[in-house]
Amino acid sequence: MIISRTPFRISFFGGGTDYPVWYRENEGAVLATTIDKYCYISCRYLPPFFEHKHRVVYSKIEAVKEISEIEHPSVKATLHFMDVTDGVEIHHDGDLPARTGLGSSSSFTVGLLHALYALKGIMPTKTQLAQDAINIEQNIIKENVGSQDQVLASFGGFNKILFKSDNSFHVNPIIIDNDRVRQLQDHLMLYFTGFSRYASEVAKSQIANTSNRRHELWIIRQMVDEAITILNNSKRDITEFGALLHESWKLKKSLSDKITTPQIDAIYESARESGAIGGKLIGAGGGGFMLVFAKPEDQPKIKKCLKGVLLVPFRLENNGSQIIVYQPQIQRVENRELIARPHVVKIRERMIHKESLFLSTISQT
């Protein structure tokens, strides 16, 4: 049995510049962090006693004889990519719902890759995990996704990630004073808007508009460095980070008419009227989680104003994808040997019989 734990992420600045259509011609960059909300994938070889060969459990249950019959696109693509030939059973559990803008689909892919590597007795690097996940999602499944989610899920932590035209990336951890980190954390609130959506559908519209939004994307890219400057300078008020988030959100909304909705705008404006300095919708847009930046003393008023919207407490995390249970299935090999070679069963039965006679003799003396 293998169990992987892979974090979800919050992206602060630079979203949109991590799409290949942008960074293959221009340098892309994001400022983002992983949080203590996770995707759990358990994986084991399936004993050969069932009619089905593979079993996949997520929001639905799939029991199939061939990988090609699996409906879940990431599971099917990842099993093919990892050249899995034996039957496997895969279970997914998550701390937060899917399609909510926190990179859950990429966390799933990274976590599944990590578990399957461990099942084969291989320990991949964080870079390999990220590169494999990007390849699966962008080239095999052909989803309209960026590249930050896979990198963040693999590496974990608070990072500036650079994306180069040769498809390489560089992860630069943000090193700031612990008090500054706590100050930032204390100003953040995470609300679930209740509206789920497929990020790929929203991103498709944004990607199509890239050539017409070059100016906006250049500004969004520059905001990454400005935000880091604010965090690294203790003389600058942390609220400047929130004000920059507000400006970034206004720019992001201009990238596509599918990024926001009247309901989401109403939630954000209510938070602003109650004291929030800034914020943004997390992920591609269209729904999911909204990040609100507000002074701690103003947060009770915001909570009261948004009492009908679910507030989700969270903390920053630094570990990235991890294998938290590693129990190689030795019994699986033994079982297959017994099935393949019945004479071994008879030999073992005779050995057990002799052992029992020996123990019986000892107990009588």
For residues 336-345, average pLDDT: 41
Asked whether 10 and 245 are in contact (CB, 8 A), the reply is no
Pairwise pLDDT comparison (359 vs 69), residue with the higher score: 69
Residues in the chain: 365
Look over the chain and give the mean of its residue pLDDT values, rounded to a whole number: 88
The CA distance from 57 to 91, in Å, is: 5
Q: Please state which CATH number belongs to domain 2-324.
A: 3.30.230.120
Asked whether residue 360 carries a pLDDT value surpassing 50, the answer given is: no
Pairwise pLDDT comparison (365 vs 38), residue with the higher score: 38
Kindly report which listed range (12-21, 58-67, 333-342) carries the lowest average pLDDT score: 333-342
Asked whether residue 111 carries a pLDDT value surpassing 50, the answer given is: yes
In this prediction, residue 260 carries a pLDDT of 84
141-186 tens-digit pLDDT:
999 899 999 999 999 999 999 999 999 999 999 999 999 999 999 9
Confidence of residue 200 (pLDDT cuts 50, 70, 90): low
Confidence of residue 198 (pLDDT cuts 50, 70, 90): low
Closest by alpha carbon to 238, among 229, 249, 247?
229
Kindly report which listed range (87-91, 104-108, 223-227, 260-264) carries the lowest average pLDDT score: 260-264
For residues 318-339, average pLDDT: 71
Asked whether residue 213 carries a pLDDT value surpassing 90, the answer given is: no
63-74 tens-digit pLDDT:
999 999 999 999
Asked whether residue 194 carries a pLDDT value surpassing 70, the answer given is: yes
Kindly report which listed range (16-30, 91-105, 114-128) carries the lowest average pLDDT score: 91-105
Asked whether residue 336 carries a pLDDT value surpassing 80, the answer given is: no
Asked whether 78 and 112 are in contact (CB, 8 A), the reply is yes
Percent of the chain with pLDDT over 70: 85
For residues 244-272, average pLDDT: 90
79-107 tens-digit pLDDT:
999 999 999 999 999 999 887 778 899 99
The CA distance from 212 to 107, in Å, is: 31
In this prediction, residue 365 carries a pLDDT of 41
In this prediction, residue 196 carries a pLDDT of 61
Confidence of residue 352 (pLDDT cuts 50, 70, 90): very low
Confidence of residue 202 (pLDDT cuts 50, 70, 90): low
296-306 tens-digit pLDDT:
999 999 999 99
Residue indicated by tokens 């942390």: 238
Q: What is the DSSP letter of 222?
A: H
24-50 tens-digit pLDDT:
999 999 999 999 999 999 999 998 889
Percent of the chain with pLDDT over 90: 72
For residues 186-202, average pLDDT: 78
Asked whether residue 3 carries a pLDDT value surpassing 70, the answer given is: yes
Residue 245: both structure tokens together: 């988030």
Q: Any idea where the domains of the chain sit in the sequence?
A: 2-324
